[in-house]
A and B are shown apart, each in its own frame.
Chain A
Amino acid sequence: MADKPETGRDEADLRLRSVSPTVPALQEWFVREVLPLEATLMQFLRRSGRSKSDIDDLVQDIYVRVCETAAKELPDPVKPFVFTVARNLLIDRLRREQVVPIETMEDLDALNVAMDAPGPDQNVIAREELRRVQAALDRLPRRAREAVILRKVEGLSWREIGQRMGIADRTVNRHLTDAMHALADMLYGDPPDVRRKP
């Protein structure tokens, strides 16, 4: 790694350049097909007994690997592909750590269940969508939630939000940045109380 940094960078550039013509398509595909799998993906990773920050790391690595392949050709069907990538990365990591609890390896096989289960149909997704955005917003800290509502519903500028809420610009910044993270986690990660409702 340290011996030939220049070559490494060139290769990366080259790869990215060949990817770029399909960037909008790749993004659209990623948002539509891959992000909705995040909740299931995290459930699966959690069963392997990884820590929360480990799981976040793994999810990001999985996204990178998935998109590397997808940039050449969009995999179809998506779900088994994403989970195969997840499985391989998890195995890599367990090997590297050289601590492989037997249950974990067995658990990886339970993955087939997750792969065969039919995804929710579009109607269910649409109905759940409203509930999800709403529930995610409900679960934000009160001030962050207010800031999001002022931004998204009333369409105030960041400055105006500060004036309305009587807080400094950098506090608005903190609330909204926190909200961005929290919304992504709740909308794509696994919010159990939302999913369990009929």
Chain B
Amino acid sequence: MSENRQSVRAQAAEWLARRDRGPWDQEDQTALEQWLGQSLAHSTAFWRLEAAWNRANRLRAARGDGGNRFLQAVSNRFTPMLFRAAAAALVIGVAGTSAFYAMQPRERSYETTVGGHETLTLGDGTKVELNTDTKVRVSQDRRKVWLDRGEAYFDVVHDAAHPFTVMVGEHRVTDLGTKFLVRQNANRIEVSLFEGRAKLDSTAEWSRSRSATLMPGDVAVATANSLSVMKKPEKAMTSELGWRRGVLIFRHASLAEAAAEFNRYNRRKLVVEDAAAARLTIDGTFQADNIDDFTRLAQLVLGVRAEDRGSEIALMR
């Protein structure tokens, strides 16, 4: 009655390989979902392989600095030593799974935990990348996403007949062919536009008229009763996307700001004890989940003292 288990694993690998190899369209997606839905043996075998295969994505982080040496090592002759050197630069995160659900009934929600990072690929190829501690809901037709919490990067496949909208608090971002980042914290919404154009407007009754069209390099900041748009230099824009590679990039950030950023990604929190330490500025690129390294560096470079209290690390002058 039950299928041979070797063959279930082999079939799962075949599906995963087919999707990874591409091309992959809606029909393939439907067929995969059908197969997955046939039994939990199918789904668990597929989830297991997929999760492991996704964990190897971490290697992508080696593309940057250590990556070149890494690749050289491959094309000449593979040397584990060189790989290790490059791998040391890799970023560690809570294992994320790339989601592949489409054609599902109702709206669906997706969440990442603190330190999590997950990419949703919607049926038409639109990608939604969730940063740490983030929650989104996706409408049934997959052209509307609610950002309920956190931060997400949208790479939208434009379709004039079906505009893609992101609902965040009392605001709506409508894509006009775009890559953009939306972040929500406390009472503030930030939209950074990287490519194409998008429209930001308010859905609140009393401010229907408030809207702005964003061009590349624009960062819009909306609060309950204000909306402002500023231009950011390209470098600053790129820094905002460091998390997609698992890193935090600081340019003249205060220690207080840097600590707040780290605290978004880690359960162990950095606490800056005094104002003098909080004002120190810091530059550089850090692994988002390695507060120990950051602490060591802060001690060394900024001359602050650190006190490890278990669930938090206190920094002081």
Contacts and interface: CB of A to CB of B under 8 A. Distances in A.
Interface string A58-91: 0010011001100100000000000000000000
A24 B90 contact: no
Contacts of B92: 126-127, 129-130
B74 A146 contact: yes
B83 A138 contact: yes
Interface in B55-96: 55-60, 62-63, 67, 70-71, 74-75, 78, 80, 83-84, 87-88, 90, 92-95
B20 A24 contact: no
Interface string A151-170: 11111011000001000000
B1 interface: yes
B70 A149 contact: yes
A96 interface: no
B49 interface: yes
A187 B59 CA distance: 14
- The binding surface of chain B is classed by DSSP as helix
Interface residues of B, number: 63
B289 interface: yes
Contacts of A176: 17, 20
A41 B71 CA distance: 36
B48 A35 contact: yes
A173 B16 CA distance: 11
Nearest to A30: B47
B80 A183 contact: no
A138 B83 CA distance: 9
Contacts of A39: none
Interface of A: 1, 12, 16, 19-21, 23-24, 27-28, 30-32, 35, 53, 56-57, 60, 63-64, 67-68, 71, 122-123, 126-127, 129-130, 133-134, 137-138, 142, 145-146, 148-155, 157-158, 164, 173, 176-177, 180-181, 183-184, 187-188
Interface of B: 1, 5-6, 8-9, 13-14, 16-17, 20-22, 37-41, 43-45, 47-49, 51-53, 55-60, 62-63, 67, 70-71, 74-75, 78, 80, 83-84, 87-88, 90, 92-95, 97, 99, 101, 104-106, 108, 110-111, 113, 267-268, 289
11 contacts: A1-B1, A16-B40, A31-B95, A31-B97, A60-B5, A123-B268, A126-B94, A130-B87, A149-B70, A151-B20, A152-B60
